[in-house]
Structure 1
């Protein structure tokens, strides 16, 4: 009964826009606002990044990660060069990732904190897989797929942070928990200014199945979730079972480069996870 009350409180707060954000995310949210402005200039963005040392360090690290440093490109050693290599859309992804990570960083309970770390590893792998699947299979915009992969478990991170002060919140999950998580995730994505096509694809993941041939952002994320070698620690992590259809198994068996894609994604995920670590 107490768990139901706690969930009802969280959902009610989310619906009223009363989300509990860590105070340390202000710099990331400010950067998001800047790069979302169509009239912003490079100098404005660079100043925003330089104003927060952690953000500056992460921007340079991400620009030097395997995802963005290809064909033997030189190491980036300045924020200006990092901004130029990443572009505004990937800086937006970086800012969003920092917000997501901050939800986990304030957790005091060791078990919940371990779950947050596991959820981050899972999200980074799904994001790296989404990026490659978008490029080679579904042919959707790869940067959008990367962003969606980073954001698709934002509701999970938020609930883990709230569970730190609401013991037992995520124990013995009920059928209705997925619906509650969906509401919270929707409101979080509004607050974080996640574009509607991305948030719609993320919300549509629950209980979804890959179409054939895979197409669009939702299928990109579903396929990435299915292929991800890291399990989500969240209660709804058994959603991946719904994806294991005979048609999907046959499709993957007929895709000759799947092993190479998985190997490349693992390397990218590890590099990206380290680069975005806050």
Structure 2
């Protein structure tokens, strides 16, 4: 992804533009201090989350709840019959069987992926198309890398890792959505990037908490774009997301441009996990087709 924060961009010095950037951050801060207001299509995930988090719900009841969201239903059936989850080629046609095959974590992941793609297509987001597309590609690649890395460690749940990888940059997506509500920011998409660099991680943590994601997943996304000592062995979900994020390129160079040693750190990780690259790329291709 070729995103460069043009520090000499004259648009960044305009008083009107500064005012709108400040207003956007103030509005987000107000939301995060109270009840977070999501775009309407987050409602489906919030409703589904309540059902998935209820231990007394049967698979039949979960399937009934999912059926209320036709787009999610179609995605789950498609995903359940994909090579990743159906290597023997035994296709299923009912939602209940799809949920059993996928597991509840994957159902939640698929639902969130739909929300994120809907977020990219929201009214006013066209001006941010290049940025959102690159962020989505990075998210897919990170999800695949997280799944493969977790598979190498029996103590870490692969599906949980894939979900964490998919949504680790949700804060950036949400900031772009909020920026689309302001004319000056929408028509000058490059000027919002440095705000995302500074704020997307903390905003993302607040959003994930509001969505009711497990504490372990939320904690794993904290400071994922900040250089740290290279883990010689992956032991935690946080290690998985950090390494997966670094291995997935995309906006890393943009977000981490002011951190010295970034290139060396990524090169070292690439060398350390080069044997996993074919599996990561294959899974990313599979996810790209089933979650789009």
| Cα separation, 1, equivalents of 2:290 and 2:194 | 36
The change in CA–CA distance for 1:154 and 1:254 in structure 2 (over 3 A counts) is closer
Partner of 1:29: 46
Report the more deviating stretch, 215-224 or 39-48. Answer: 215-224
What are the ranges of 5 or more consecutive residues in structure 1 without an aligned counterpart?
none
The change in CA–CA distance for 1:241 and 1:63 in structure 2 (over 3 A counts) is farther
Pairwise CA RMSD of aligned residues?
2.7
**Displacement after TM superposition at 1:43 (Å):** 0.9
Is contact 2:141-2:281 (8 Å) kept? yes
Is contact 1:173-1:235 (8 Å) kept? no
Q: Secondary structure at the match of 1:203?
A: coil
| Cα separation, 2, equivalents of 1:120 and 1:23 | 20
How many residues end up aligned between the 2 structures? 270
Describe how 1:234-253 pairs up with structure 2 within 5 A: 236=255, 238=257, 244-245=263-264, 249=267, 252-253=270-271
What are the ranges of 5 or more consecutive residues in structure 2 without an aligned counterpart?
1-17
Report the more deviating stretch, 30-39 or 205-214. Answer: 205-214
Is contact 2:150-2:161 (8 Å) kept? yes
**Displacement after TM superposition at 1:106 (Å):** 0.6
Q: Secondary structure at the match of 2:233?
A: coil
**Displacement after TM superposition at 1:249 (Å):** 4.5
Kindly indicate whether residue 20 of structure 2 is the aligned counterpart of residue 5 of structure 1.
Answer: no
Kindly indicate whether residue 84 of structure 2 is the aligned counterpart of residue 106 of structure 1.
Answer: no
Partner of 1:152: 168
Describe how 1:29-68 pairs up with structure 2 within 5 A: 29-68=46-85
Is contact 1:129-1:265 (8 Å) kept? yes
**Displacement after TM superposition at 1:195 (Å):** 1.0
Kindly indicate whether residue 287 of structure 2 is the aligned counterpart of residue 275 of structure 1.
Answer: no
TM-score w.r.t. length of structure 1 = 0.85
Describe how 1:1-278 pairs up with structure 2 within 5 A: 1-2=18-19, 3-19=21-37, 21-70=38-87, 72-136=88-152, 139-166=155-182, 167-168=184-185, 171-172=190-191, 178-209=197-228, 210-229=230-249, 231-232=250-251, 236=255, 238=257, 244-245=263-264, 249=267, 252-253=270-271, 258-259=274-275, 261-277=276-292
